[in-house]
Amino acid sequence: MGSHSVENQSIAALNKGSTLALYALTVGAFAIGMTEFVIMGLLPEVAADLQVSIPAAGLLITGYALGVALGAPFITMATHKMQRKTLLLLLMAIFIAGNALAALAPDYTVLMVARIVAALTHGSFFGVGSVVAADLVPKEKRAGAIAIMFTGLTLANILGVPIGTFLGQAYGWRSTFWAITAIGFVALLGVILLVPKVKAAQSSLKQELGVLRRPTVHVALLMTVFGFGGVFTAFTYITPILVDITGFSPGSVSYILVLFGLGITIGNIYGGKLADRKLLPSLMGILVLLAAVLTLFGLTDHHKILTLITLFILGIASFGSVPGLQLHMLNTAKEAPTLASTLNIAAFNLGNALGAYLGGVVIDMQLGGGLRAVPYTAALVTVVGILFTLWGIRQHKDASKVIS
């Protein structure tokens, strides 16, 4: 009886420690998510202070996205044999330096460099963090652990971006980057104190790169690019849709996006729970729901109440797919978890960029009514992701037959 009591206490302590470690990763994810998105609300202030045009200031978003997509795999390969906790600390230190440099930037060029420096840590932090989070819990709870870490990203949209935008508008845009730097320090301390040492990758870099030649990995990446790409096809242009089509005032948009943010938080959590139960079937169901809701958005976006309801459900469907897509990549490339996971984060960002581009093309060329056609375009992008998911399910079944 006594031994069982000691064992139960040990398990409880392990669970508590794992939870605190996951929360430390969540704070890091919050800081990084805030850095990525808050600049959208500060473009006028940045442009005026640094004496550049709004489109030029907008390139700070593009530069960040490219820094994530291109830098992530190279950072991961360069740090391949580094112990994972040490790597997380290094990434957070670089992130802090990048945001401090942004706060001090004397001109546009230095600010762009600072944004790219911060972006270099994004993909690797989420990639390595996903692996660490999955290793902290039993196998049947891996997607849920990843979802907890990604909750930081969703909270960055709900709380971080509005608060950061308010700070920047009230006290100057530099104050926002100082605030992010401070949050980065909190995350750094959390990793130091709470995240246990996790062994480095056991395979050689050549072996990891070899895994990435597999067709199953290629399909998994395409599932992420297109499955999530539909979200940003619509979300990038959500403000003009809400103002020009639905008829909301510009000042009410930030409050509406909080509703959307609540939806993505719920979707992220329950998407992780569903993925832990039935990974590929639940992922397929969520993507089908996402495509359906995006199509519905094209029909309801002229009615205020229906738009609010649709956006809330869209938020749930949008991030409901994230834990499943990330866990599927980890399962597909088990021998190269860090590199594959990081590349999948780059795939999310590539999907964001592709979606924003396609939505812009539809608007500029007035295809199908321009802005009114954006939700339908987003749904089509998601349908492509569904087709790749069907392909991935087929590959999984074929692999199972070979093993059996």
**Burial zone of 3 (CB within 10 Å; 0-12 exposed, 13-18 middle, 19+ buried):** exposed
| Residue 48 token pair | 């005026």
Last residue of a domain, one of 152, 169, 200: 200
More confident residue, 166 or 402: 166
Q: Are residues 211 and 182 in the same domain?
A: no
What integer is the mean pLDDT of 88-112?
96
What integer is the mean pLDDT of 364-375?
83
Per-residue pLDDT for 12 more than 60?
Answer: no
Q: Are residues 93 and 178 in the same domain?
A: yes
Per-residue pLDDT for 356 more than 70?
Answer: yes
pLDDT of residue 403: 54
Over its C-alpha atoms, the chain yields an Rg (Å, rounded) of 21
Q: Are residues 183 and 235 in the same domain?
A: no
Q: Are residues 382 and 250 in the same domain?
A: yes
Chain Cα centroid distance, residue 386: 19
Confidence band, pLDDT 50/70/90 cuts, at residue 116 = very high
pLDDT of residue 400: 64
- Kindly list the distances between the CA atom of residue 173 and the CA atoms of 118, 145, 188, in Å, as whole numbers in the listed order: 16, 34, 23
Confidence band, pLDDT 50/70/90 cuts, at residue 60 = confident
| CATH code of residue 267 | 1.20.1250.20
Domain that holds residue 195: 1-200
What integer is the mean pLDDT of 67-83?
81
Q: Are residues 162 and 231 in the same domain?
A: no
For residues 210 and 217, what is the distance between their CA atoms, to the nearest angstrom?
11
Q: Are residues 196 and 241 in the same domain?
A: no
DSSP 246-313: I---GGGHHHHHHHHHHHHHHHHHHHHHHHHHSHHHHHHHHHHHHHHHHHHHHHHTTSHHHHHHHHHH
- Kindly list the distances between the CA atom of residue 123 and the CA atoms of 12, 72, 120, 259, 293, in Å, as whole numbers in the listed order: 32, 5, 7, 27, 28
Per-residue pLDDT for 7 more than 70?
Answer: no
For residues 29 and 112, what is the distance between their CA atoms, to the nearest angstrom?
21
Per-residue pLDDT for 212 more than 80?
Answer: no
Confidence band, pLDDT 50/70/90 cuts, at residue 65 = confident
Q: Are residues 289 and 166 in the same domain?
A: no
| Residue 330 token pair | 């980890």
For residues 18 and 47, what is the distance between their CA atoms, to the nearest angstrom?
43
Last residue of a domain, one of 150, 182, 200: 200
Last residue of a domain, one of 182, 200, 218: 200
Give the chain's domain count. 2
pLDDT of residue 14: 42
Per-residue pLDDT for 97 more than 90?
Answer: yes
Q: What percent of the chain has pLDDT over 70?
A: 91
- Asked whether the beta carbons of 145 and 198 are under 8 A apart, the reply is no
Per-residue pLDDT for 218 more than 60?
Answer: yes
More confident residue, 337 or 28: 28
Per-residue pLDDT for 2 more than 70?
Answer: no
Q: What percent of the chain has pLDDT over 90?
A: 38
What integer is the mean pLDDT of 335-350?
80
Provide the 8-state DSSP code for 241: I
Q: Are residues 227 and 185 in the same domain?
A: no
Weakest-pLDDT range from 167-171, 198-202, 307-311 = 198-202
Weakest-pLDDT range from 50-59, 188-197, 312-321, 383-392 = 50-59
The per-residue pLDDT of the chain, averaged, comes to 85
pLDDT of residue 141: 83
What integer is the mean pLDDT of 106-129?
92
Weakest-pLDDT range from 126-135, 161-170, 291-300, 393-402 = 393-402
For the stretch 21-45, what's the b/e string if a residue is b when 16 or more beta carbons lie within 10 angstroms of its beta carbon?
bbebbbbbbbbbbbbbbbbebbbeb
Q: Are residues 330 and 195 in the same domain?
A: no
